[in-house]
Structure 1
């Protein structure tokens, strides 16, 4: 049985948060919603805009077409969430940040501008191959008048509240992956550094990825894991936050954000991490003809292979920069032991994680 003080404190917390998450419900016709999103977009002045913590358009054309089909046949669709952010930046006065719904708004924009060609329609197969302009003019007008409901957070909802909501309500069929969620929940200098190094052309060349993986920030996930394992891999699986990779990396990102904020731009932590990343990529380009790929024809980079090679190299260079076994590494990466440590089955088991990292490290050191 809870005491009266505990109950009163719980109620106080609920009331406090409720006051922050203040909102109104609005309805906009599709054509107005798209206009508010597209007008002034190139200049960064569109009324309804996508914030930098949101993900790119990752719905494939078939999924986008399904959404359009749902609207055409009158099926209900989820609410969109937007937020008035003018209280934080005068330049954003009167504009609305999309908290949840970027895939739907972007899909509508692509359809109304004629970019999206409908495909995979099951209820309306006769529309497959159609663009918006191919429909009867009367149907175009009716589609433009379809209304969507928006929950608009007022200016009382601060950035932390919006980012928290972004993380909580993204529970649809296409779930946020770890890096997408991390970008939204914990912005800071470390996450910015991860974003920057992930864009390097050398990294893209050495670690090719599919277009779908690129869109979902897989490069940033690889970079974040590299830094976390390089510094703390020995604690993985031994602490509460270290039992799950996403929590392990989250914990590291929080600590690095705090350290780098305190030190300021170009501080010792940032300098150390940049150097380790650059030195690692340089060595990979010198000694591994295929980069992080399994073969010259491979078009993707497995996480476990990247982690083993990248982190193993960083740890070896930290211990002995001469790396006596560097030129033998290619042969070691083709041996059964390495393949066993980098198979997908139980790949994130603590013994597998530490085993594959130390395997590369020790081979480079000639052990």
Structure 2
């Protein structure tokens, strides 16, 4: 018994030393300081393109007018503003790692392109643009400092992406697809982007501008491959957290595709074969509920796209079926009534429903 205790204590000490060593090593990967930039300087540098937003992993400018006005109102009231993250780059310019929407809002307001509306506290300023404010208020606004965490030169793109990921996967305003698209750079992620641009996919699975600005197409394609490729292992490791499950899948595929290009070749074939068959059986209506619908429900897309892909895998010469007997029926409607993405049995149920209908010709 005493020997076991001694071994346990020794193991714990080694683990503690290894943990401390790793923390020390990784902590040195990120060197930064904090700086205060007056709004006037920040706006000028952005206009000169000295401060820029990296389109590769930043999201579209998707703040609504209320969000922008709320942010400006907070500054006018002197309230603390969340830190922004900037980084030096090789060409001497400054990359806005996190803070794109705040920066663009400041630029728009200072250029008189944003009219204050729906202010809840500074109600007397509703309807004003920047140049219409009292000159003293304008000067105070322009001289207000925005605190920035400044990542020193040498901070790798991988580290910057990790920072973006950690900030934006914990926020309330960022959709999983936005954070995933920004955080997981790699060949497979690029392939997913390619799929989203596929004309046939966009014809068959339209999205509204609002949802596509939040990368809904990227989310749909990511789920298609993650759920399709893990169907046979009964979604091993899936615990109900969809975002984590899809993130892990994309990250793993990025790593595998670095040394095995066949992964992308096979995935591309699966996607195109699915779309070609879907076009034949679904017609112009595509994955939508009706021919006039402007958007595609995720649950419906998952059921049809993955069900088709699985049926084609089992029977590559699958005949074109007449689906009119069930596509608008109560049973299929019940299967796809809500996303219920965190419920594995419902996901499997709706996918199997379509797969079996196509294989059996029911």
Same fold by TM-score greater than 0.5: yes
Partner of 2:81: 77
Q: Is the 8 A contact 1:236 1:248 kept in 2?
A: no
Partner of 2:27: 18
Distance in 2 (alpha carbons) for counterparts of 1:224 and 1:281:
15
- The total of aligned residue pairs comes to 351
Distance in 2 (alpha carbons) for counterparts of 1:117 and 1:335:
49
In structure 2, relative to structure 1, the CA distance for the partners of 1:330 and 1:133 (3 Å cut) is: farther
Tell me if 1:281 matches 2:275. Answer: yes
Distance in 1 (alpha carbons) for counterparts of 2:246 and 2:171:
24
Distance in 2 (alpha carbons) for counterparts of 1:70 and 1:286:
54
Partner of 1:320: 315
SS at match of 1:168: helix
Partner of 2:16: 7
Q: CA deviation at 1:330?
A: 3.7
**TM value normalised by structure 2:** 0.89
In structure 2, relative to structure 1, the CA distance for the partners of 1:182 and 1:236 (3 Å cut) is: farther
Name the stretch that deviates more: 300-309 or 336-345. Answer: 336-345
Distance in 2 (alpha carbons) for counterparts of 1:127 and 1:200:
46
Distance in 2 (alpha carbons) for counterparts of 1:284 and 1:118:
47
Tell me if 1:300 matches 2:295. Answer: yes
Q: What is the CA deviation profile of residues 304-348 of structure 1, one whole-angstrom value per residue up to 9, with x for unaligned ones?
A: 100111111112222224433x34224312122212221227444
Which residue among 246, 251, 256 is the counterpart of 2:253? 256
Which residue among 157, 160, 168 is the counterpart of 2:158? 160
Unaligned stretches of 5+ residues in structure 1: 41-45, 87-91
Tell me if 1:55 matches 2:59. Answer: yes
SS at match of 1:6: helix
Tell me if 1:341 matches 2:335. Answer: yes
SS at match of 1:11: helix
SS at match of 2:96: strand
Q: CA deviation at 1:293?
A: 0.9
Distance in 1 (alpha carbons) for counterparts of 2:105 and 2:229:
41
In structure 2, relative to structure 1, the CA distance for the partners of 1:5 and 1:172 (3 Å cut) is: closer
Q: Is the 8 A contact 1:341 1:356 kept in 2?
A: yes
Q: Is the 8 A contact 1:329 1:360 kept in 2?
A: no
Partner of 1:31: 40
Q: CA deviation at 1:71?
A: 0.7
Q: What is the CA deviation profile of residues 214-245 of structure 1, one whole-angstrom value per residue up to 9, with x for unaligned ones?
A: 111110010111112222223344x2246432
Name the stretch that deviates more: 242-251 or 75-84. Answer: 242-251
Which residue among 305, 315, 319 is the counterpart of 1:310? 305
Name the stretch that deviates more: 208-217 or 143-152. Answer: 208-217
Distance in 1 (alpha carbons) for counterparts of 2:331 and 2:291:
21
**TM value normalised by structure 1:** 0.87
Q: What is the CA deviation profile of residues 181-222 of structure 1, one whole-angstrom value per residue up to 9, with x for unaligned ones?
A: 222332111111111211233322322223221111110010
Distance in 2 (alpha carbons) for counterparts of 1:248 and 1:121:
40
Partner of 2:4: none
**Mapping for residues 1-367 of structure 1, pairs under 5 Å:** 3-40=12-49, 46-86=50-90, 92=91, 94-170=92-168, 174-237=172-235, 239-241=236-238, 243-263=240-260, 267-288=261-282, 289-324=284-319, 326-344=320-338, 346-365=340-359, 366-367=361-362
Distance in 2 (alpha carbons) for counterparts of 1:210 and 1:119:
25
Q: Is the 8 A contact 2:192 2:222 kept in 1?
A: yes
Q: Is the 8 A contact 2:238 2:245 kept in 1?
A: yes
Q: CA deviation at 1:287?
A: 2.5
Distance in 1 (alpha carbons) for counterparts of 2:248 and 2:196:
20
SS at match of 2:87: strand
Unaligned stretches of 5+ residues in structure 2: 1-8
Partner of 1:43: none
Q: CA deviation at 1:115?
A: 2.3
SS at match of 1:329: coil
Distance in 2 (alpha carbons) for counterparts of 1:350 and 1:3:
38
